[in-house]
């Protein structure tokens, strides 16, 4: 665990960003498939759900870059990879589901992007991605060997 305040803040932001991306993805998938009618999920709605799960997986994959640039702990990358894999499996599960409904709401990709942008749990990963050029990892100074006389 990091000992100074800056490193602790970066670790907390990275972890919050990863968990927030998963929550945002599940939120967008829920609203994409929210129907009040008895018809069930339409193929267009199912396609949008799969696209939302893939978008969340890609956001998690993109979050590896600032984590590596900031030289954060390796366990955050492992958490990121596991969460991205779970969202990938979720997308594959949704893609394998049959859609029996008709009609439904046919949202576009811009609706999906807007839903991700207005969901507050997406903001930490966006902040992390936007802050990437300003992050600098500090390497630990190499221990010096004692002088031998």
Residue 149 domain flag: no
Q: How far apart are CA 101 and CA 98, in angstroms?
A: 9
| pLDDT score at 29 | 84
Residue 142 domain flag: no
Residue 63 domain flag: yes
Q: What is the mean pLDDT of residues 17-35?
A: 84
Three-point CA angle 92, 95, 99, nearest 5°: 150
Contact between 112 and 14 (Cβ < 8 Å): no
Residue 24 domain flag: yes
Residue 43 domain flag: yes
Q: Which domain holds residue 43?
A: 14-97+105-133
Residue 114 domain flag: yes
Residue 30 domain flag: yes
Residue 139 domain flag: no
Nearby residues of 136 by Cβ (< 8 Å), 6 or more positions away? 69, 70
pLDDT in tens, 60-82: 898 888 888 888 888 988 998 99
- Number of structural domains the chain divides into: 1
Q: What is the mean pLDDT of residues 110-135?
A: 84
Contact between 73 and 137 (Cβ < 8 Å): no
Q: What share of the chain is helix, strand, coil (3-state, %, to 5)?
A: 65, 0, 35
| pLDDT score at 36 | 59
DSSP class of residue 83 equals: H
4 versus 67: the higher-pLDDT residue is: 67
Residue 104 above 60 pLDDT? no
């Amino acid at each position: 665990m990091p000992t100074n305040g800056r490193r602790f803040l970066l670790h907390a932001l990275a972890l919050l960003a990863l968990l927030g991306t998963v929550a945002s993805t599940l939120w967008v998938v829920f609203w994409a498939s929210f129907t009040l009618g008895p018809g069930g999920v339409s193929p267009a709605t199912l396609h949008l759900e799969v696209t939302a799960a893939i978008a969340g997986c890609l956001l998690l994959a993109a979050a590896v870059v600032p984590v590596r640039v900031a030289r954060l702990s390796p366990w955050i990358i492992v958490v990121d990879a596991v969460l991205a894999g779970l969202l990938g499996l979720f997308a594959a599960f949704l893609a394998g589901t049959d859609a029996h409904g008709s009609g439904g709401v046919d949202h576009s990709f811009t609706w999906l992007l807007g839903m991700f942008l207005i969901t507050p749990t997406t903001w930490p990963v966006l902040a992390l991605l936007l802050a990437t050029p300003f992050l600098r990892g500090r390497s630990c100074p190499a221990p010096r060997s004692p002088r031998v006389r």
